[in-house]
Structure formats: structure tokens, C-alpha cells
A and B are shown apart, each in its own frame.
Chain A
């Protein structure tokens, strides 16, 4: 783990409210595993006070990529960063996806900006693995396909792809996939993850989910991000024990 003052290389607007930022962070880039995150200080003063957690979206050499939308003061400030300005990154944090062995087809299930960790995962999957990426969003403009392979979309308003939720799309597609030995990798809003978790547990599907939670430090000292395990009396921490968990192991 490093604290790294990182120069902004570029900010690319991907859609109306979604941006991809590229920053130079060689120390962190050398360690990143798919599914890990950075806790980012977006300003040099006390506003906002706390860091903000962001999934690491992609890595190219010494550069890291983060995908974000503007939904608060912190993300608004990041969106205004210019090339040459700095962000202070702390990372890589958390445990990433377990993606190396034990399956043939990777099924990515993402809701909205939940696509963020998957470009790196897709890139790092070994060549002999099949990938299918199921993306859900409210509307066409919420579907971000950056860095993803073999994409099928689901939208709430039917403006792109399947008309319905991404979990419903998965239920439809699973017939085509289920003859293979597959593993589901998921990230998205909690209601989506809950629906997915229920479906996967009922059908005994192998599923790893990346959850989101407000946190202060990102490395286990503030105790601000507890999550209830299925087994055990004490909470786990999203930052340190996650953010990726086996769908069977936690209560959402």
C-alpha cells in the first residue's frame, strides 16, 4: 500500500455524466489486482475532508484509470481536474476478485457504474477463459462498455438491449452459459446485488460480489464500513475483508 501524489494525465467524458480519469501512479500500479480500490483525496484542503473510495478500473503501465460519475462535491471536484494537476491516492486497498482457477467462463454482471472494476478484470483473465459481460442501467446513456468484452445490455426503459434488469437478463442468458463451468463477478447498487445474491444462492452458482460502503480510512482503522457475515458473530470490514466477497458469505 502506498500514499502517492499522482499527476492527472487526462480526463475523458464517456457519457453525459460519466468520466474516465487517467493518473500517473507507478507504485500503486505495480501492485494492483482486479477488484481493488484507491481512497482518493480530491482536494488539498479540508473540503471535502475525507478521502473517497474508487474502484481501480484499469491499469496501463504506470497509469491507473478510474471511472466515476458526478454525484457529490468530491466527484464534482475530480471532474474539474486538469491534466498536470494532482490527486492524492492511497492504495491499492482491499482484496480483489479471485479469478484465476476453477471455472471456464467469466460472467460479469454490472449495474450502472458497477462496471468500474471490470475492464482490468477482463484484461487480466487468461486467454483460455470465455467472458460475457451483462450490463444494466436505467437508460442507454447509463451503459458504459469501456474495456469490456462480449457485452449484452439491459435497460429499465428498454432504450438499449434487454428491457428489464440485469439480473433478469442473467436469468435468460444463463441457459446458454450453464453448460459451461462458470463464475459470476458482480458489482452494482445494493438492490441489484441483493437480487443477484438471492438468485445465485438459490441455484448454488459460484458468485463473487464487490460491495460499496461509506468509509473514512479505507484500511481498517476507522471501523466505519462493517458488513454482516453469514457465519460468525463479529462484523467484517468492507475495506479490508472486501470489497469483494463470496455471495454466500455475507448478508446484504
Chain B
């Protein structure tokens, strides 16, 4: 029986399958369709200090092998998260990573400082790469100094592991990963969505109100693989791989190029039980290929 458990920054995950932020809400809705306790972890919807309404509709549109979204970080805010969402999440037997988005460095720090007291939260993922909110996210994600400072300041207010979620919309993603490492970050999540847009040829209007959105789904998998490989070859830091994973084969591939664990996102909208199916697929793959521990796959590329 292969061991699917992995360890990142001292944190144990029962398997490498995590549900990506913004694709599982706060866990309760998707729990009707799948057994969350079978998964390695859940990354909750981006939280900001105060509630955010998010962008007006239309917020999503399908594109070839992918989708564009511009939700705009709609969320309940830290206070309601603790009061209304944690009670459900704390009952789960899986690793809980809390994703934080903010408009200022101070807000990232303040959110983390408050939430680090919640026992059920095991780690933080810091979103410096949301493409859909003007004053937050991507502007930091494009700024090496800002990413370094955010990592350092957030790390100073929590003993829990922090992962910085990186943008693919940069020229050298490994430079950002390097700064995360130098400033005490425990790992990087890569990649967030790619900036894209789509227009209606008859009305000549953008198909999403925000004009641009974040591209996700199978269309971005090759980009994710290349970015993860670039980080793996240049920086010694744990990588949580994200980008277009639809099944266990995609999952194996993303681990081979360097991911220690991975997150699935868009597929949850189509098949809310995909995570559990991927866990089963990985078990079979490991057994058939005489892999004792799944972490052997990480960065096992033959180039």
C-alpha cells in the first residue's frame, strides 16, 4: 500500500490533493457531493478584513478548454468567517489552509494576526496574484519588493506555515519564489489564473463585466507545468502546484515537474467529487508503478 501522505514545512497532509481557493467556498456546499475528509486539504475562499461584495455580473464565461472569471474576491470578511464558517470547517478531518487577500500590506498582516489564533487553521496562503481586483492582489504580485515585504511581515505574526500564491503574469516567476524563500516563506502556490478576455462579436462588448478575467481550466495546464518547472530548477522551496488539473494523470504530471502537493480548482465546478477520484487514481498509479511514497514523484522529471 503506497503512502500518499506528504509533509510541507512540518505540516502533514494525508495526501497531496487540495481544493483550490475560490472553488470550494467555505466547504459546506461542496460537502453535499463529496467526502472532504478523504482529501489532503482545503484552501478556503480568499478572505479580506472586511466583507467584499465582488464584481457585478457577468462574472464568468467559457473559453476553449477553460473559463474566465472575474468574481472580484467576493467574501464574508474575517469576522463572519470566524463566527459562521469555522464551526463547519473545524469538524473536518483534513488540513485547512486559509487564503488571505488584501489591498494593503497592513491588511494582510492584520488578517493573519487575527486568524492565527484559530486552532482549526493549519496554514495560510497569501494571495498576491488575484487578477480581478484593481487595488489588491496582482499589483503586489508583479512587484518583487512587495512580495518580499508581505512574506516577511506576515511571517512575523504567525508561527503557522505560509504559502505565497504567485502570479503567472510575470516574466520570471522563479525570482518571486526566491524572494519568498529569502523572506521566510514556507512555500509557494503556483500558479494563479492568467489574465485573459473574451468579446461578443455582435455586441462588441466584453463577455465579462470586468473586461478582463482570470483564465483557468485545462487550457492553462502547460503554462502551469512550465512555471512550476522553472521554480523547481531555480529555487529550493516547496511548491503547491495549481493549474488545469482535471484528473489523476494531470496530478502525477504536475508532481513530476516539481509540485509537492497540488490544488484542483475549475474541475470542482464540473465534478465536485473529482478530488476523491484523484486520490483513488493516485493510489492505483503508485501501486502499479511500485512507488512507496508519493513524495518520490516530486521533481522526478527526466530531462
Contact surface of A with B, Cβ cutoff 8 Å: 1, 3, 41, 46-51, 90, 213-217, 219-228, 233-235, 240
Q: Is B270 an interface residue, CB under 8 A from the partner?
A: yes
Question: What's the nearest-Cβ distance from chain A to residue B299, in Å?
Answer: 27
> Contact at A49–B270, with CB atoms within 8 Å?
yes
> Contact at B269–A213, with CB atoms within 8 Å?
no
9 closest Cβ contacts across the A-B interface?
A224-B60, A217-B269, A216-B269, A220-B29, A221-B25, A223-B71, A224-B59, A222-B269, A50-B62
Q: Which one, B53, B56, B59, contacts A234 given CB within 8 A?
A: B53
Chain B residues positioned under 8 Å from A3 (CB to CB) = 33, 271-273
Q: Which one, A41, A217, A223, A226, contacts B56 given CB within 8 A?
A: A226
Given contacts A1-B33, A226-B74, A234-B53, contact A215 B25 (CB under 8 A): no
With the chains together, A225 CA to B55 CA distance in Å?
10
> Contact at A221–B62, with CB atoms within 8 Å?
no
Question: What's the nearest-Cβ distance from chain B to residue A234, in Å?
Answer: 6
| Interfacial residues of chain B within 51-79, with CB under 8 A of chain A in the complex | 51, 53-54, 56-62, 64-67, 69, 71, 74
With the chains together, A227 CA to B45 CA distance in Å?
19
Contact surface of B with A, Cβ cutoff 8 Å: 22-25, 29-30, 32-33, 45, 51, 53-54, 56-62, 64-67, 69, 71, 74, 217-218, 246, 266, 268-273
By beta carbon, the residue of chain A nearest B29 is: A220
Question: What's the nearest-Cβ distance from chain B to residue A16, in Å?
Answer: 21
> Contact at A49–B74, with CB atoms within 8 Å?
no
Chain B residues positioned under 8 Å from A234 (CB to CB) = 51, 53, 74
> Contact at A223–B54, with CB atoms within 8 Å?
yes
> Contact at B71–A1, with CB atoms within 8 Å?
no
A-B contact pairs, 12 of them (CB 8 A): A49-B218, A216-B269, A217-B268, A219-B30, A221-B23, A221-B268, A221-B269, A222-B23, A222-B69, A224-B71, A226-B56, A226-B74
